[in-house]
């Protein structure tokens, strides 16, 4: 297996096979979350014997033993399915089976087959299979006869974690990656730096974290930490999308990189405070080029998130050099043009590194005002603002202009309220805007955002799960089949108990209990 370098799954076809030794029984099927595109199950059920059960590769499979992603996944899912058995045989025997050109999971007498185009599909299939297995009170494991055909509705299903407003220990990130795989999320959007702190330890600019992190030793992500996160995510079929947000949200950058930020003026003298990145200095772009070169070598994903949101113009306005530059460039008094100028430079910079840029919607909104557009193949826009009416309008406008787009606005999960707010996340209709089929295809997915003002390792997990799982089903499953939120309730309730069983402290949906309650504190 080669390293994941892209979100596009262009690997050769794989085929792998489970063998299960079976007897007949009766039980109804437990739910799978998110709901597969097509599932047929029968009351016929088969016991699973942990001592005899194993995963193995089909003979025609392009992936064979030695494929690290699947070898590891076999181990992981064995322990998830049989928590009482910490070790066992996983893939020692290889059986021969016909390869069929379908993405299917089929459980029938004796054996179960999982066919997938890529290892990434196989990971999703393993997750589904693990959710089909259930344990009866007396301890035996069962799986019902089942046929599943499955694929995601949207290719981008992300979760944003913010490690700048609070530092999240690596362990908390890894745990989140585990839980993400359980809900079939496939992108970890790492909002790694922002105003409050700069925890990313740069090889090229170590002062950024030495001076900009909350603490230069304990509150940073070393290169090793980052590699660990990326490889842990890869094993679970999750892309790591780093965000280095500029020109706003960069207070912490300024501590370790002098002259990067714009000096604000009070009258005719510098006030001692700093604003956004200084867009008029060549040194700024030189710095950014070097930093993003490093970032593109550290993070293998073909996308980089460049931010570009919420730029406060008051500091730029106060600075006489910036005003002179505006004049020279013919921007007049329109500072959105200056912002657009800056973003264009940064986008081109990352394009030169063979990376596609993702930017927050603000960039589109500014550019739209003066028909000063970046090419649609260079950027992807990320919608974060507003109520349904306004984000639907934004979806329409962005896709009409031919840009690909990601929707995050309805899934700001850091906003909490009393009661079952997961229902709001579930009932979102991402394609509910007026536009052509072509426009709808430009919506590549959605993202759950957990901003960090009020969240750190103490409350991240219960605040994220199972609320994010509601969005996961919206992004994976067929909308018609999953339009009834009341029908989803008992399934999500079961799924959250399964998360508990797997050690994820997912909070309750409502009164009730789980067989295995959370045993931590």
Long-range own/partner contacts, residues 3-7 (CB < 8 A, 24 or more apart): 3/234, 3/300, 4/234, 4/239, 4/300, 4/301, 5/300, 5/301, 5/302, 6/301, 6/302, 7/155, 7/156, 7/187, 7/239, 7/301, 7/302, 7/303
Nearer to other proteins, 35 or 504 (CB): 504
Q: Does 419 bind other proteins (CB under 8 A)?
A: yes
Instruction: Determine if 340 is a binding residue for other proteins (CB under 8 A).
Output: no
Give the three-class secondary structure for 145: strand
CA–CA dist 360, 408 (Å, integer): 10
User: Segment contacting other proteins (CB under 8 A): 42-50, 413-421, 436-444, 467-475?
Assistant: 413-421
* Torsion 389-419-188-353 (CA) sign: positive
Residues 239-278 that bind other proteins (CB under 8 A): 249, 251-252
Examine residue 412 and tell whether it contacts other proteins (CB under 8 A).
yes
3-state secondary structure of 402: coil
36 lies in the binding site for other proteins (CB under 8 A): no
CB half-sphere exposure, 223, CA atoms < 13 A: 9
CB of 351 to other proteins, least distance (A): 25
Residue 219 tokens, joined: 């509150």
Distances from the Cα of 469 to the Cαs of 69, 314, 458, in angstroms? 24, 40, 20
From 11-19, 33-41, 235-243, 504-512, give the range in contact with other proteins by CB under 8 A: 504-512
Complex with other proteins: residue 186 or 251, whichever CB lies closer: 251
CA 386 to mean position of chain CA atoms? 21
One of 88, 169, 300, 376 touching other proteins (CB under 8 A)? 169
13/312 with CB nearer other proteins: 312
Q: How many residues bind other proteins (CB under 8 A)?
A: 62
Residues belonging to the active site: 310
418 contributes a contact to other proteins by CB under 8 A: yes
DSSP 406: E
Supply the DSSP string of 221-282, one letter for each residue. Answer: B-HHHHHHHHHHHHHTT-EEEEEEEESSS-HHHHHHSTTSEEEEEETTEEEEEEEEE-TT-H
Q: Is 183 in the site for other proteins (CB under 8 A)?
A: no
Backbone phi and psi for residue 368, each to the nearest 5 degrees, phi listed first: -60, -35
Query: Which window, 28-36, 162-170, 318-326, 428-436, contacts other proteins (CB under 8 A)?
Result: 162-170
CB of 276 to other proteins, least distance (A): 11
| Binds other proteins (CB under 8 A): choice among 196, 237, 308, 430 | 196
Closest to other proteins by CB, 112 vs 172, is: 172
Per-residue binding letters, 461-500, with other proteins (x by CB under 8 A): xxx------------------------------------x
Per rule CB under 8 A, is residue 458 in the interface with other proteins?
A: yes
520 binds other proteins (CB under 8 A): yes
First to last CA, the chain: 40
The single residue among 384, 426, 433, 495 that binds other proteins, judged by CB under 8 A, is 384
- Tokens coding 33: 């979350």
- Contact (Cβ atoms closer than 8 angstroms) between residue 46 and residue 23: yes
Helical pair 223-235 and 68-81, crossing angle rounded to 10 deg: 70
As measured in angstroms, the least distance from the Cβ of 195 to other proteins is 4
Least Å distance, CB 226 to other proteins, is: 18
Of residues 46, 342, 366, 451, which one binds other proteins by CB under 8 A?
A: 451
| CB-nearer residue toward other proteins: 151 or 489 | 489
CA distance to 124, 171, 295, 303, 356, per residue, from 380 (Å)? 26, 30, 18, 9, 8
The smaller minimum CB distance to other proteins, of residues 194 and 392, is found at: 194
Q: Least CB distance from residue 10 to other proteins, whole Å?
A: 33
Nearest approach in angstroms of CB 8 to other proteins is: 28
| Torsion sign (Cα): 18, 22, 24, 29 | negative
CA gap 235, 189 in Å, rounded: 16
Binding footprint of other proteins on the chain (CB under 8 A) = 165-167, 169, 171-172, 175, 194-197, 214-215, 218-219, 249, 251-252, 309-310, 312, 314, 384-386, 409, 412, 414-419, 449, 451-459, 461-463, 500, 505-513, 515, 517-521
């Amino acid at each position: 297996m080669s390293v994941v370098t892209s979100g596009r799954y262009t690997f050769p076809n794989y085929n792998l096979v489970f063998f299960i030794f079976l007897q007949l029984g009766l039980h109804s099927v437990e739910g799978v979350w998110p709901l597969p595109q097509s599932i047929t199950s029968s009351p016929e059920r088969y016991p699973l014997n942990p001592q005899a059960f194993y995963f193995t590769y089909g003979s025609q499979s392009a992936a064979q033993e030695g494929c690290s992603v699947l070898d590891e996944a076999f181990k992981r899912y064995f322990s998830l399915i049989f928590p009482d058995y910490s070790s066992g045989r996983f893939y020692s025997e290889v059986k021969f089976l016909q390869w069929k050109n379908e993405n299917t999971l089929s459980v029938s007498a004796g054996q179960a087959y999982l066919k997938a185009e890529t290892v990434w599909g196989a990971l999703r299939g393993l997750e589904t299979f693990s959710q089909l297995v259930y344990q009866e009170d007396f301890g035996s494991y069962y799986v019902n006869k089942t046929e599943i055909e499955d694929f995601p509705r949207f290719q981008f299903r992300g979760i944003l974690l913010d490690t700048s407003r609070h530092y999240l220990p690596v362990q908390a990130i890894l745990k989140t990656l585990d839980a993400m795989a359980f809900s079939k999320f496939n992108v970890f959007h790492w909002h790694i730096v922002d105003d409050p702190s700069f925890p990313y330890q740069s090889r090229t600019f170590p002062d950024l974290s030495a001076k900009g992190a909350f603490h230069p030793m304990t509150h940073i992500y070393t290169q090793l930490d980052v590699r660990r996160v990326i490889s842990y995510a890869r094993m679970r079929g999750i892309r790591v999308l780093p965000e280095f947000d500029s020109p706003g949200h960069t207070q912490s950058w300024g501590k370790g990189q002098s002259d990067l930020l714009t000096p604000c003026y009070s009258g005719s003298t510098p006030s001692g405070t700093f604003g956004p990145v200084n867009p008029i200095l060549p040194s700024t772009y030189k710095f950014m080029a070097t930093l993003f070169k490093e970032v593109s070598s550290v993070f293998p994903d073909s996308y980089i998130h460049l931010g570009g949101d919420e730029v406060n113009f008051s500091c730029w306005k106060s600075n006489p050099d910036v005003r002179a530059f505006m004049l020279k460039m013919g921007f007049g008094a329109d500072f959105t043009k200056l912002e657009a100028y800056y973003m264009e430079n940064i986008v081109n910079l990352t394009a030169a590194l063979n990376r596609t840029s993702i930017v927050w919607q603000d960039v589109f909104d500014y550019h739209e005002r003066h028909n000063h557009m970046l090419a649609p193949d260079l950027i992807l826009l990320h919608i974060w603002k507003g109520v349904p009416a306004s984000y639907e309008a934004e979806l329409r406008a962005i896709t009409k202009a031919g840009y690909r787009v990601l929707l995050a606005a309805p899934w700001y999960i850091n906003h909490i309220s009393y009661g079952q707010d997961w229902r709001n996340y579930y009932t979102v209709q991402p394609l509910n805007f007026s536009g052509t089929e072509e426009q709808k295809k430009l919506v590549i997915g959605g993202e759950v955002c957990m901003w960090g003002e009020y969240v750190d390792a103490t409350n991240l997990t219960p605040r994220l799960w199972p609320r994010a799982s509601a969005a996961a089903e919206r992004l994976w499953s067929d909308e018609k089949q999953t339009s009834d939120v009341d029908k989803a309730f008992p399934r999500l309730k079961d799924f959250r108990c399964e998360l508990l069983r797997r050690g994820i402290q997912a909070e309750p949906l409502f009164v009730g209990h789980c067989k295995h309650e959370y045993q931590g504190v």
